[in-house]
Structure 1
Amino acid sequence: MDNLSRRGLLAGAGALVAAGSLGLPTASARPVRAAALPATKRFKMSATTNEFFRSKPLWGPTVMQSFAFDTPNNRLFTGQLRSGTPANSGDLTLSQLSFSGTVLGHMYLNGFGHAVSIGAQAVGSTTYIWTETDVDTANGRGRQICRFPWKNGATLSSSSVTKWKPVAGGSVFTPAVDQRYGRLGVRHSSPDGMRINVYDLAAASAGDYSTVLASFKQPTLTAGVAFQGWALYGSYCYFWEGTAYPGEPDETKANSKLWAYDINAGKIVDSFLTLAGKSLTYREAEGMAVYGSTDATARLYFGFASGVSGDRRANLFYRNDLV
């Protein structure tokens, strides 16, 4: 759950400075911006809901906060707060799942953040994971972003990974990877609210954040409803929100909503209040990601946590209609 997104919207663009290391290219005070992203199709928010899997335990098992697909290697990863650690410690668990929801492996991340959004990037047969890192223990969120290779059974500390702060003065960073179009989105907070910058994925992987392909304020979503995830695909950004309700399913309490934002037009173009997984107990919206290397194979996934405290489960659904 990302309650920080309930703040107001960001005013102004802000200067960018890269915090990369190892002598890599850095961002200038006046970053280059493209006029627009090449226009693409978008997912239809009211399309048929498809179920991927239901009620699967993760490594832990704690609430799934986010997930990401490595499309070329057909891998699925989830991000979770680690069981038994202080709430704002930033200690995370990553689970690798099969496409049927079976746990295949895990990693531990010490001092990283909340895992509101993670990304996956294929480099040959290796999956690189993008996350927030350098936790601010005052709020449990990451102050930078990082990228590291998946290694089953490994434990990483925030001090052991190369970190970047793409936006000077920004905080509460979370990444999203658009694998098909080769882009990295970076959502971040400022004193006035939330903003998203889009970068070339290859350049960002090398620590170069000097060219901003797109930059926009997160649009106003539903007041009082928790922000739960976001994803990039082409010239659109997608948002996911929803608050859990306990006990028996009650459709009148369901408030999980999908949003589609046209980056070039600068506005919301579609939204839909979904009852997917309405029979789930607890049913908290958690996580959003895109799978697919073509329009024909592309799917926009959205997740729910379910189950009782101490035995939370992961559930994934998707849309695959593009318009």
Structure 2
Amino acid sequence: MSMSGHISRRGLIGAGSAALLSAGAIGALTAGEATAAVPKTRRFDLSKPSHDVFRGVLLHEKHHAMQGMAYDAKNRRLFISQQRDGSSGDDLCINRLDASGRVTGHMHIDNAGHGVSIGVEPRGSDSYIWVECESSSNDDSGRGTALARFKFVNGKKPSGVKKFFKGSKTITCATDPVNERILIRRKEAGKFTLRLYDFSSMDAGNGTFTDPLAKITQPRLGNGSVTFQGYTVLGSYLYTLDGDGHADPADINSYVSCVDLNTGKVVDRFRTKAGKSLVYREPEGMAITTSGGEIRLNMGFASRRSMGHIDRYANVFHKNVLI
């Protein structure tokens, strides 16, 4: 895996026609409620092929699947969350990977949640992790009720933790490394709602953000009964990943969708067969990365060596065509 460089906002934002549905898109396209005025940007062409980033990486917790991903573009670090081996189900491990896909460090977070999606904020040579915390239940059903922000320190427990959006239900986040933004997803009045913020609007001392750039309710994806597996954000678009684990490639039901943050409309949805040869392939997590001036949409998939094998492997693929 080669991940390098920091892409400017100017490199992403460009003129273009209204987002049109690609021929061959699959699934019903719907819209959620939206209030936004995010400068329009280009979006990924989800119909284009996916490419390998890495396969068969064994994370620090060998027996649990990867979950969320986030990328520090300034320091060229990829972070992947997963549940901890031997835990009650809501304790997480944050893995740090280098540009070759090698695990270079980890942190343990107690009573955090499920880790479906995480964020990272570069500050100089440091990486600050954003992850759910204060789990609603001390088992596999637990989900975060606030967001924690702390500096990644290899082998240590979090210290100097700042907490945001306390009292939330099922809260997670994703970060845009190109535009230096954070997207917050949580349940509000029974509906998953997403709010986009510039990091410049953060008051870390008070644990608050001001002036969201966008607010949408999550639109219906596919038939509405999908297994949600992750999301990320780039410019004016939200990307989601859904689907189930499967033993037979004929049963692949993993889809990637693109949602306009200004309208709440699903503008593209395609089935992805990336890594279709993996054993017990299960979609897990998304992130935006950069490599040599190229912006990439990354999708994670967990796998096993064989169906009876206990170890779970991390595999990442990317799409790189913007329209």
Which TM-score band (shorter chain)? 0.7 to 0.9
Matched residue, 1:110: 110
Contact map agreement 1:184 1:204 (CA 8 A) in 2? no
- Shifted more, 37-46 versus 131-140: the winner is 131-140
Matched residue, 1:255: 253
Matched residue, 1:57: 58
Unpaired stretches in structure 1, ≥5 consecutive residues = 1-8, 14-32
Shift of 1:111: 1.1
**1:153-232 maps to which residues of 2 (within 5 A)?**
153-156=155-158, 161-165=161-165, 170-204=168-202, 206=204, 207-222=207-222, 223-232=224-233
Tell me, in whole angstroms, the C-alpha distance in 2 between the residues paired with 1:199 and 1:67.
19
Matched residue, 1:274: 272
Matched residue, 2:4: none
Matched residue, 1:265: 263
The letter of the residue matching 1:317 is: F
User: What's the TM-score once normalised by structure 1's chain length?
Assistant: 0.83
Tell me, in whole angstroms, the C-alpha distance in 2 between the residues paired with 1:263 and 1:210.
18
Tell me, in whole angstroms, the C-alpha distance in 1 between the residues paired with 2:291 and 2:186.
27
Tell me, in whole angstroms, the C-alpha distance in 2 between the residues paired with 1:82 and 1:243.
21
Percent of aligned pairs sharing the same letter: 40
Tell me, in whole angstroms, the C-alpha distance in 1 between the residues paired with 2:274 and 2:57.
16
- 1:172-225 Cα shifts (integer Å, max 9, x gaps): 110111121121100001342211011121223623323121100111113333
Contact map agreement 2:152 2:158 (CA 8 A) in 1? no
User: Quick one: structure 1 residues 214 and 60, their matched pair in 2 at CA, closer, same or farther if it must change by over 3 Å?
Assistant: same
Alignment RMSD, CA only?
2.2
User: Quick one: structure 1 residues 291 and 137, their matched pair in 2 at CA, closer, same or farther if it must change by over 3 Å?
Assistant: same
Tell me, in whole angstroms, the C-alpha distance in 2 between the residues paired with 1:271 and 1:180.
23
Tell me, in whole angstroms, the C-alpha distance in 1 between the residues paired with 2:256 and 2:170.
22
The letter of the residue matching 2:235 is: G
**1:278-297 maps to which residues of 2 (within 5 A)?**
278-292=276-290, 296-297=293-294
Contact map agreement 2:65 2:313 (CA 8 A) in 1? yes
Tell me, in whole angstroms, the C-alpha distance in 2 between the residues paired with 1:140 and 1:321.
37
Tell me, in whole angstroms, the C-alpha distance in 2 between the residues paired with 1:209 and 1:154.
27
User: Quick one: structure 1 residues 293 and 275, their matched pair in 2 at CA, closer, same or farther if it must change by over 3 Å?
Assistant: closer
User: Quick one: structure 1 residues 46 and 12, their matched pair in 2 at CA, closer, same or farther if it must change by over 3 Å?
Assistant: closer
Unpaired stretches in structure 2, ≥5 consecutive residues = 1-29
- 1:72-92 Cα shifts (integer Å, max 9, x gaps): 1111111000010112xx210
Please identify runs of 4+ aligned residues in structure 1 that moved more than 4 A.
9-13
The letter of the residue matching 2:260 is: D
Tell me, in whole angstroms, the C-alpha distance in 2 between the residues paired with 1:205 and 1:255.
41
User: Quick one: structure 1 residues 85 and 293, their matched pair in 2 at CA, closer, same or farther if it must change by over 3 Å?
Assistant: same
The alignment of Structure 1 onto Structure 2 pairs a total of residues equal to 285
| SS of alignment partner, residue 129 of structure 1 | strand
**1:299 and 2:300 equivalent?**
no
